Structure 1
Amino acid sequence: MTIQTSASPAENTAAAGSAKLPRQIPYIIGNEGCERFSFYGMRNILTPFLVSTLLLYAPEAERAGIAKEIFHSFVIGVYFFPLLGGWLSDRFFGKYRTVLWFSLIYCAGHACLAMFEDNRTGFYTGLFLIALGSGGIKPLVVSFVGDQFDQTNKHLAKVVFDAFYWIINFGSFFASLLMPIFLRSYGPAVAFGIPGILMFIATLIFWLGRKQYVNVPPTAADPNSFLHVCRTALLAQAPGQGRAGLTVAALGGVLALGALALIPKLGFVICACMALGLVIAFGGMGASMQLERARGKHPDAAVDGVRAVLRILIVFALTTPFWSLFDQKASTWVLQGNEMAMPHEAWWWPSWLVKDAAQMQALNPALVMLLIPFNNLVLYPALRKLGFNPTALRRMGAGIGFSGLAWVVAGLIQLWIDGGDPVSLAWQIAPYALLTFGEVLVSATALEFAYSQAPQAMKGVIMAFWYLASTFGSLWVLLTNAGVRNEAVISHIASTGLSENAFLMFFFAGFAFLAAAAFALYARSYPMQDNYRAA
């Protein structure tokens, strides 16, 4: 890494005028495009493959529920392992080496899926390795892009981040569209092998740029980090006062142990996630109660930063129901689509290309690329002219509500299917459009919101917690899946006159509406901050 001396503002301005895009950027963009194709290629055919395979060792009627459980357990892993990748990068190896090594693990996982299509242990090992590899690099590649810029060319970073986001959706679109065809026409070995080849190409492209990258070295442990400040707050004593916050945190630890004791009944993934959630929730509440005790032992900026992060965590927690709905488009909605009729007779339907219900997932990235410019250029300016300011929190709350509306529509479609009449797959366009609109309002806005609210020193920990929101979203799905195996729950669903699928769709819609209402209530009293760095 080259050591750069500081320059005057005038010198920086002059340099910026003649700045060029860093030569190493195409390697990172190319890597991301291939990696996203590989990930969404295997992810979007996972549920239909599991339903059709004998790997599950279960009666055909039970495979859909088991396939959903495996899929969402996999998603939990993908969004949990960013914690590991970020920690290893920041403390020991740096971003380049961490990304490269996790990419090799990623490749090994794809190889397992392709080679062990009929071997349960081998296939599940592949899923674990992909979750580890994909999750491990997830928090690093975007920040690695930012590391390639300095004061002289930072104005070009926005162009690169736009290209970065575009290539993600480009890869996702074609993977979602093509891989179900390969699964149906050539079998799982080919369908899982192609994403593996793309991941190998992604790793090779990334490695080829190794001599040109700017590598920011890992840093030593920060004595004023989020966890250190929370620990000080919980353990510190104040004259004449008890330690109620420590008691609350300890209660969370006891409840977490209780959750782990349920492993024989609910399984390791559900119980481990429940335990983690309890530790975070009760530990955060306890630290918040005693946070002022950390002042004097840590800088005020660090203590204020922890307070900001704890507030943001409540916002993130209220988005977890959204993720429980969003990620089911690759499980529940694919299974629903398999019960619907392909509208080949419609003049506008691209029968030459769309032959499988799983391909409907391609609507999501396609609509994302259309909705983001539409919202920024048309919708938000129009709302402002009407006197309504679409703030970040308002957009996120509305996004959760739209996801609930999408599931109401999906539930109505399921009622139609349950009635026995043929239902065109084209009707799924409506819930996909509503859910994607909700995604743009929630996901794209949340990163902007978190960045503005968290102080500079706490922005890294915020990203880790944001990825955990998706983990806990899938936890809700697994808990619901476990719940419907209970005889009392099954009897209650039967008493409603609805099928299990329809009942769960309306249940998740109600869950989202309840979360949207809670989000709106919390947003009314949220103290907005402005932590963008000074020009």
Structure 2
Amino acid sequence: MGTADENGEDLKKDFSAPKKKVPTICGTNYPVSIAFIVVNEFCERFSYYGMKALLTLYFIHFLHWDEDLSTAIYHAFSGLCYFTPVIGALIADSWLGKFRTIIYLSIIYVIGHAVKSVGAIPIVGGHTEHVALSLTGLCLIAFGTGGIKPCVAAFGGDQFEEEHKEERRKFFSIFYLAINAGSVISTFVTPLLRGDVKCFGGDCYALAFGVPGVLMAIALVVFLAGSSLYKKSPSQGNILMEVGCCIGFSLKNRWRHRSARFPKRTHWLDWAEEKYKKTLISDIKMVTRVLFLYIPLPMFWALFDQQGSRWTLQATRMNLSFGTFVLKPDQMQTLNALLILVFIPIFDMGLYPLIKLCKINFTPLKRMAVGMILAAAAFAVAAIVEVQVSETLIPAPAPRETLFQVLNLAERPVDVTYPGSDVPFDTFHPLQDPSHYRRLTLEEDAQDVSFDLRYNSMDITCNQTFHGEKAYSLTLFTRGGQLECKLLEDDIKKPAKGLAALRFINSLQDDANVTISGKSFFVPKDHGVSAYQTLERGVYKKVECAVGSKKYDLDVDLLDFGASYTAIITKNSDENIEVTKTEDVQANNVNVAWQIPQYVLITAGEVMFSITGLEFSYSQAPVSMKSVLQAGWLLTVAFGNVIVLIVAKAAVMEQWAEFVLFACLLLAVSIIFSIMASFYQYVDLTEPTEEHKDKAELNDSGSGKEKVEEQLQLHPLKKTKI
């Protein structure tokens, strides 16, 4: 068997030369080189998923973008990561080959991580520099991870001899196990590095991004270490380019001969017969039938990839405590990878055989449709959870509307009559925690409001100026035996990242300085108030309070997830200092465990949709076209992220309504997909078509055989992450 060079000469292969012995692992048929590739993939996926798990919170809390912009940039990055594999495939097949493509793009990958980590250091420039470095780093990472995506798995398959197909099949299972292991560990570890390690006075994003960068550098070093052991196939020409040229020529030729006097052809691709072989045209016909079914698929990925954006943001508004163990909101993404490892054997060895025993024809396309429905159900559940989560939020006041609550710091109850009240008066007891904020409609943007107060049988009028779109605490206290009032502006926004917000009011006659968890609160005397500060959720039993030359220990007790508190410093009958705490913004009372059902549903949907979709695509595509379908499949992920990007910026609605919108859209798409699938006729590629009976012509050339072998190596039986 030979290969033709550029001059058309036949270069004969020397079959008499002894075959080079490839080092194997422990006497098996597994080449030693695959160990380097598997470790490389583990480190690279740790790098990618660990970095990606932090992105949404990084955008919001470090770059100070709003939730919609953060979601849009997150999905723009995710989409770019799935557009660039096409570029990587072109570079590898047409120019550098897989080995050198992996090396060069991995270097770009590492540089991207370095730039991203530097951009997360607060002392490096200002906000503009941080944004520029972050976006530059993300672009480099997207080009690196996407570019090597179509190369690494195929390069691993290249290492096996042709007769070791069973070992090669098992290699792909090990390969994708490494992907999920990297994903599970990184999405658990990097949030810990972000939240538990403090640097520059806050969350240590620089370290949390830097560790994935180090893992990517290790991945590159490990891959280079195995260089002398690899089988390196040269570039063979790009089938994607050939397919594109064939389709382009067919359309151009059809347009050129659009006159009615030319005979019609059975298929529009038949207009390429003047230039391209019938085998290629026949293969492209098969591929276009599958690609047509791909059209609705991006909507599934539009929902699936929101685990790292909208679902993570939902987790920040939930209770993250499991007794002594407290979860980070960005760690919930670990659940998807863990469930994948559990569900694959359950589905393959339990569910699917059981359905088969029931004599139900559960075809691949039906599985994919069910996977879509499960993902839609996951978002319906997410919407229900979001409604419950939203009950702890205080709706912001509208223009010419204000919110207020009454805090009675006096020694006795006070009766308060205020505008708009349906009852003669409300009674507020000393240090009573108000149950809710009251809403007051103003006639102007700023308005003087009078309150009638009764204290110790004395009637008092309290006049205060309220502004629209703000919230206040009307504090009542005594001075010289007389009741007085004072208006304090409140912050009713729920603290970010599941933190708690705290401020102090000082009813003493001396200034107080409170130190709690390294943060200092200065509280002016005579009912002065400190600024709000955020603290980690926790129980604070001994809080240092300095009043004049004396120091006291205050029991602040539990500061819970997402709550906002006012702690009132008073002196008790024993002349000791104590605090009474009021909860201004309700704590997150929905446990994050309620997200588990939506993760279970969407992961089950992923197993039925993603893995089945890959197996269906490869089984319905000719060997020479498998890389084309791989590129098409990855592009559906990219376009799914584009959909989220558009909806996040265009749709102005509450979060629960957005979840319902996505669920309805995917449900509608699943119906359309089911109708399209009902017209699809499965093909058995083990039986050659008339056009493929002349494949001997293709297989007689060495380049053709290498092309077929390369595409066989691109056919993993299981794929858990893409």
Task: Classify the TM-score, shorter chain.
Answer: 0.7 to 0.9
Offset at residue 355 of structure 1 (A): 2.1
- Do 1:288 and 1:310's aligned partners in 2 also have CA atoms closer than 8 Å? no
- Alignment partner, residue 261 of structure 1: none
Offset at residue 238 of structure 1 (A): 8.2
**Partner amino acid, structure 2, of 1:150:** E
Offset at residue 48 of structure 1 (A): 1.1
- Alignment partner, residue 308 of structure 2: 330
Q: How many residues in Structure 1 have an aligned counterpart in Structure 2?
A: 456
- Cα 1:222/1:78, change in 2 over 3 Å: closer
Q: Secondary structure at the match of 1:138?
A: helix
Q: What is the rounded CA distance, in whole Å, between the counterparts of 1:501 and 1:223 in structure 2?
A: 40
Do residues 472 (structure 1) and 626 (structure 2) align? no
- Do 2:69 and 2:649's aligned partners in 1 also have CA atoms closer than 8 Å? no
Do residues 163 (structure 1) and 317 (structure 2) align? no
- Do 1:294 and 1:303's aligned partners in 2 also have CA atoms closer than 8 Å? yes
- Alignment partner, residue 609 of structure 2: 442
Do residues 180 (structure 1) and 191 (structure 2) align? yes
Offset from partner CA, 1:250-286 (integer Å, 9 cap, x none): xxxxxxxxxxxxxxxxxxxxxxxxxxxxxxxxxxxxx
- Cα 1:237/1:510, change in 2 over 3 Å: closer
- Cα 1:5/1:439, change in 2 over 3 Å: farther
Residue 93 of structure 1: which of 93, 96, 100 is its match?
96
Residue 511 of structure 1: which of 665, 689, 696 is its match?
665
- Cα 1:153/1:289, change in 2 over 3 Å: closer
Q: What is the rounded CA distance, in whole Å, between the counterparts of 1:6 and 1:402 in structure 2?
A: 55
Do residues 69 (structure 1) and 72 (structure 2) align? yes
**Structure 1: 5+ residue runs without aligned partners?**
8-17, 244-286, 346-350, 485-489, 494-499
TM-score, scaled relative to structure 1: 0.81
- Cα 1:436/1:408, change in 2 over 3 Å: same
- Cα 1:382/1:51, change in 2 over 3 Å: same
Offset at residue 295 of structure 1 (A): 2.7
Offset from partner CA, 1:291-334 (integer Å, 9 cap, x none): 12123432222112111221211222211100000000000000
Residue 34 of structure 1: which of 37, 43, 55 is its match?
43
Q: What is the rounded CA distance, in whole Å, between the counterparts of 1:199 and 1:20 in structure 2?
A: 29
Q: CA RMSD in A?
A: 2.4
Q: Percent identity?
A: 33
Q: What is the rounded CA distance, in whole Å, between the counterparts of 1:164 and 1:422 in structure 2?
A: 41
More helix by share: 1
- Alignment partner, residue 623 of structure 2: 456
Q: What is the rounded CA distance, in whole Å, between the counterparts of 1:175 and 1:466 in structure 2?
A: 25
- Alignment partner, residue 433 of structure 1: 600
Q: What is the rounded CA distance, in whole Å, between the counterparts of 1:513 and 1:115 in structure 2?
A: 43
- Alignment partner, residue 369 of structure 1: 341
Q: What is the rounded CA distance, in whole Å, between the counterparts of 1:223 and 1:109 in structure 2?
A: 28
Q: What is the rounded CA distance, in whole Å, between the counterparts of 1:128 and 1:434 in structure 2?
A: 32
Q: What is the rounded CA distance, in whole Å, between the counterparts of 1:174 and 1:238 in structure 2?
A: 55
Do residues 207 (structure 1) and 228 (structure 2) align? no
- Alignment partner, residue 302 of structure 1: 280
- Cα 1:372/1:47, change in 2 over 3 Å: same
Q: What is the rounded CA distance, in whole Å, between the counterparts of 1:288 and 1:416 in structure 2?
A: 58
- Alignment partner, residue 134 of structure 2: 123
Larger radius of gyration between Structure 1 and Structure 2: 2
Within-5 A mapping of 1:24-423: 24-53=33-62, 55-56=63-64, 58=65, 63-117=66-120, 118=122, 119-186=130-197, 187-220=204-237, 225-237=242-254, 241-242=258-259, 290-345=268-323, 351-352=324-325, 354-420=326-392, 422-423=589-590
Offset at residue 448 of structure 1 (A): 0.8
Offset from partner CA, 1:105-138 (integer Å, 9 cap, x none): 1001111111111411111111111001000101
TM-score, scaled relative to structure 2: 0.61
Offset at residue 224 of structure 1 (A): 8.8
- Cα 1:438/1:200, change in 2 over 3 Å: same
Q: What is the rounded CA distance, in whole Å, between the counterparts of 1:221 and 1:149 in structure 2?
A: 22
Q: What is the rounded CA distance, in whole Å, between the counterparts of 1:521 and 1:6 in structure 2?
A: 54
Q: Secondary structure at the match of 2:37?
A: helix
- Alignment partner, residue 251 of structure 1: none
- Do 2:68 and 2:649's aligned partners in 1 also have CA atoms closer than 8 Å? no
- Cα 1:374/1:288, change in 2 over 3 Å: farther
Offset at residue 5 of structure 1 (A): 7.3
Offset from partner CA, 1:178-221 (integer Å, 9 cap, x none): 11111112211110010001000000000001111111110246
Q: Secondary structure at the match of 2:383?
A: helix
- Cα 1:440/1:196, change in 2 over 3 Å: same
- Cα 1:150/1:343, change in 2 over 3 Å: same
- Do 1:102 and 1:133's aligned partners in 2 also have CA atoms closer than 8 Å? yes
Q: What is the rounded CA distance, in whole Å, between the counterparts of 1:145 and 1:449 in structure 2?
A: 22
- Do 2:49 and 2:187's aligned partners in 1 also have CA atoms closer than 8 Å? yes
- Cα 1:240/1:339, change in 2 over 3 Å: closer
- Do 2:240 and 2:627's aligned partners in 1 also have CA atoms closer than 8 Å? no
- Cα 1:373/1:288, change in 2 over 3 Å: farther
- Do 1:19 and 1:153's aligned partners in 2 also have CA atoms closer than 8 Å? no
**Partner amino acid, structure 2, of 1:404:** A
Q: What is the rounded CA distance, in whole Å, between the counterparts of 1:223 and 1:325 in structure 2?
A: 28
Offset at residue 223 of structure 1 (A): 11
Offset from partner CA, 1:123-181 (integer Å, 9 cap, x none): 11111110010001011111111111122222211221111111110110011111111
- Cα 1:239/1:139, change in 2 over 3 Å: closer
**Structure 2: 5+ residue runs without aligned partners?**
1-11, 17-26, 123-129, 198-203, 393-587, 689-711, 713-722
- Cα 1:166/1:4, change in 2 over 3 Å: farther
- Do 2:299 and 2:640's aligned partners in 1 also have CA atoms closer than 8 Å? yes
Q: Secondary structure at the match of 1:217?
A: coil
Offset at residue 518 of structure 1 (A): 0.8
Q: What is the rounded CA distance, in whole Å, between the counterparts of 1:35 and 1:20 in structure 2?
A: 26
- Cα 1:21/1:50, change in 2 over 3 Å: same
Offset at residue 531 of structure 1 (A): 2.9
Q: What is the rounded CA distance, in whole Å, between the counterparts of 1:21 and 1:74 in structure 2?
A: 36
Offset from partner CA, 1:8-63 (integer Å, 9 cap, x none): xxxxxxxxxx862111010000000011001000001111111111x24x5xxxx1
Q: Secondary structure at the match of 2:681?
A: coil
- Do 1:238 and 1:293's aligned partners in 2 also have CA atoms closer than 8 Å? no
- Cα 1:219/1:65, change in 2 over 3 Å: same
- Alignment partner, residue 434 of structure 2: none
Offset from partner CA, 1:387-422 (integer Å, 9 cap, x none): 212221111111111000000000000011122271
